């Protein structure tokens, strides 16, 4: 079916960051010191496992960053040359892959892996004599366990069988991948396959392949079970409007990544430039930059962000002609939030870089460069910036988790992303009232918490590995 590609602004920045990451990796590979530092990260088993988990989240986010508008069905009797109309709904490649989860909408709440709704309703049941009887009971779900028909008692056995078959298929695929990796490494070093397998799992390789394969094994096992069960059941249940919670948490990943990465794109130039310039030149330049970030720090961050978001929302509401679809409107608010967070979160890194630059400018090699008449710009780029990159990398990796949590808090208080955009914060906000009902609806909040916890934990563990590898005092 023909589609119309759509490039949102957040998509542009996401793919720009991907291109920048590829370029930075290519450049780092040709710098001996950086290559050695990243080699130490690759030898850290915890860091490699965390990076593998983050790569899985990144893959979900990239699949959700390829957007399009599907073609509408042609009218009856339309001529072949008639103009093609496209839907106003903007979908992504991830939406296409998750079509069963996206389109199988129930009436209201249902528990994980349930076959009936979570709330009782008045129902008419036909008796054996053909008469109708009205009673209050839990209605059957339209899609959850539909293949069972009337034989609902088989649901536990059916769930266990589907999960076991999917898990076995995932294990077989994972073992094949392990054999492929160990075989290639064995051929590379000229040893038998069995010896290559032993070296991989005993950690006797330069790269921590055992951590990578172990993390992949966990991911493959979970993915296989989700795929095996997701086609027939709502694995994480449904929300108030009957939408699959698994679909929501997967869609929330992109929002978290955009908040963490695009905000970094805004923060990095400001913090690095102003921090190094303030520490190197000192004098009135240092006083001016200190006054700027001290003033920003004196304003409560939440109030500043709330004021900026509300101003942006007023501009969006008064100019509806700017947007062809609701997705473009929500995307602009997301980008506005990223820029606002970036403009309010650069001060900490700038203050840290200023202090380090004050120390570095007094070292002998910097003073020797000044005595030989080397320009200030060359000193900044050649002598100061390379010796501060480990701080920049460590700070950015560690700030990523803080930004993901900030989005959840801001969306919870109503000044985060657009309410129509799925995110961890909006899921937690929607689940706020659900916990107060009887019986409590716990699965939406639990799913959002678990996925956000794993994402933030992986980012923090990778930050620790990067810190250990790039910090000269720990090298």
HEC per residue, the chain: CCEEEECCHHHHHHHHHHHHHHHHHHHHHCCHHHHHHHHHHHHCHHHHHHHHHHHHHHHHHHHCCCEEEEECCCCCCCCCCCCCCECCCCEEHHHHHCHHHHHCCCCCCECCCCCECCCCEEEEEECCCCCEEEEEECCECCCCCHHHCCCHHHHHHHHHHHHHHHHHHHHHHHHHHHHHHHHHHHHHHCCCHHHHHHHHHCCCCCCCHHHHHHHHHHHHHHHHHHHHHHCCCCCCCECCCCCEHHHHHHHHHHHHHHHHHHHHHHHHHHHHHHHHHHHHHCHHHHHHHHHHHHHHHHCCHHHHHHHHHHHHHHHHHHCHHHCCCHHHHHHHHHHHHHHHHHHHHCHHHHHHHHHHHHHHCCCHHHHHHHHCCCCHHHHHHHHHHHHHHHHHHHHHHHHHHHHHHHHHHHHHCCCCCCCCCCCHHHHHHHHHHHCCCCCCCCHHHHHHHHHHHHHHHHHHHHHHHHHHHHCHHHC
> What is the CATH number for 460?
1.10.3720.10
**Position 256 in a domain:** yes
**Position 323 in a domain:** yes
**Position 114 in a domain:** no
Q: Which of 200, 230, 260 is the last residue of a domain?
A: 230
What residues are paired with 116 via a beta bridge? 140
**Position 121 in a domain:** no
Same domain, 458 and 409: yes
pLDDT for 322: 78
**Position 77 in a domain:** no
pLDDT for 167: 94
56 and 220 Cβ atoms separated by less than 8 Å: no
Interhelix angle 443-470/385-412, rounded to 10 degrees, is: 170
Same domain, 270 and 400: yes
pLDDT for 193: 84
Same domain, 251 and 395: yes
Same domain, 202 and 57: no
Q: Which of 195, 230, 265 is the last residue of a domain?
A: 230
Same domain, 369 and 424: yes
Same domain, 216 and 279: no
Same domain, 291 and 337: yes
* Domain limits for position 302: 245-470
Q: Give the sign of the dihedral formed by CA 6, CA 10, CA 13, CA 18.
A: negative
Same domain, 304 and 223: no
pLDDT for 76: 62
Same domain, 8 and 53: yes
Same domain, 183 and 307: no
Q: What is the pLDDT along the chain (475 residues), one digit of tens a residue?
A: 577 888 888 889 899 888 988 888 888 888 787 788 888 888 889 999 999 999 999 999 999 999 988 887 766 665 666 677 777 888 899 998 998 888 888 888 888 988 888 887 777 767 666 667 777 778 888 888 888 877 888 888 989 999 999 999 999 999 999 999 888 888 888 888 888 888 888 888 888 899 999 999 999 999 999 999 988 899 999 988 889 999 999 999 999 889 888 888 888 888 888 998 988 888 888 889 888 888 888 877 777 888 887 888 788 778 777 777 778 888 888 888 888 888 888 888 888 899 888 888 888 888 888 888 888 888 888 888 878 877 887 777 778 878 888 887 887 777 778 888 888 888 888 887 777 777 788 888 899 889 989 998 998 888 888 878 876 555 5
Same domain, 226 and 252: no
pLDDT for 81: 61
**Position 371 in a domain:** yes
Domain count, the chain: 3
d(CA 307, CA 216) in angstroms, rounded, equals 43
Same domain, 319 and 210: no
**Position 269 in a domain:** yes
**Position 126 in a domain:** no
pLDDT for 400: 81
């Amino acid at each position: 079916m023909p589609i119309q590609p759509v490039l949102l602004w957040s998509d542009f920045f996401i793919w720009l960051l991907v291109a920048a990451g590829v370029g930075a990796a290519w450049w780092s590979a040709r710098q001996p010191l950086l290559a050695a530092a990243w080699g130490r990260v690759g030898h850290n088993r915890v860091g490699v496992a965390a990076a593998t988990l983050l790569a899985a989240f990144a893959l979900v986010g990239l699949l959700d960053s390829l957007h399009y508008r599907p073609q509408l069905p042609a009218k009856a009797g339309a001529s072949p040359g008639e103009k093609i109309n496209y839907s106003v709904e903007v979908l992504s490649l991830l939406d296409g892959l998750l079509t069963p989860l996206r389109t199988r909408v129930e009436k209201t709440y249902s528990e994980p892996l349930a076959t009936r709704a979570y709330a009782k309703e008045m129902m008419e049941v036909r008796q054996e004599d053909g008469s109708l009887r009205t009673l209050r009971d839990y209605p059957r779900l339209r899609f959850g366990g539909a293949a069972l028909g009337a034989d609902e008692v088989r649901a536990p056995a059916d769930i266990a069988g589907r999960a076991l078959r999917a898990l076995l298929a995932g294990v077989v695929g994972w073992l094949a991948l392990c054999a492929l990796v160990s075989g290639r490494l064995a051929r590379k070093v000229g040893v038998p396959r069995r010896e290559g397998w032993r070296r991989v799992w005993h950690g006797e390789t330069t790269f921590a392949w055992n951590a990578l394969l172990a993390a992949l094994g966990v991911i493959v096992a979970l993915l296989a079970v989700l795929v095996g069960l997701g086609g027939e059941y709502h694995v994480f249940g449904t929300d108030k409007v009957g939408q699959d919670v698994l679909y929501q948490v997967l869609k929330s990943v992109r929002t978290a990544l955009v908040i963490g990465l695009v905000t970094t794109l805004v923060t990095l130039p400001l913090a690095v430039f102003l921090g190094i310039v303030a520490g190197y030149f000192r004098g009135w330049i240092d006083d001016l930059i200190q006054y700027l970030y001290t003033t920003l720090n004196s304003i409560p961050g939440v109030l500043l962000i709330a004021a900026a978001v509300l101003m942006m929302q007023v501009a969006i509401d008064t100019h509806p002609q700017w947007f062809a679809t609701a997705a473009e409107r929500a995307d602009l608010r997301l980008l506005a939030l990223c820029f606002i967070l970036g403009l309010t979160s650069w001060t900490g890194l700038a203050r840290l870089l200023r202090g380090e630059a004050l120390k570095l400018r007094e070292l002998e090699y910097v003073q020797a460069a000044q005595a030989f008449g080397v320009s200030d710009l060359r000193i900044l780029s050649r002598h100061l910036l390379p010796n501060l990159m480990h701080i920049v990398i460590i700070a950015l990796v560690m700030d990523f988790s803080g930004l993901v949590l900030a989005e959840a808090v801001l969306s919870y208080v109503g000044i985060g992303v657009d309410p129509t955009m799925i995110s961890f914060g909006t899921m937690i906000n929607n689940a706020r009232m659900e916990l107060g009902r009887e019986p409590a609806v716990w699965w939406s909040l639990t799913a959002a918490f678990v996925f956000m916890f794993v994402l933030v934990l992986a980012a923090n563990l990778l930050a620790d590995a990067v810190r250990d590898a790039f910090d000269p005092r720990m090298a």
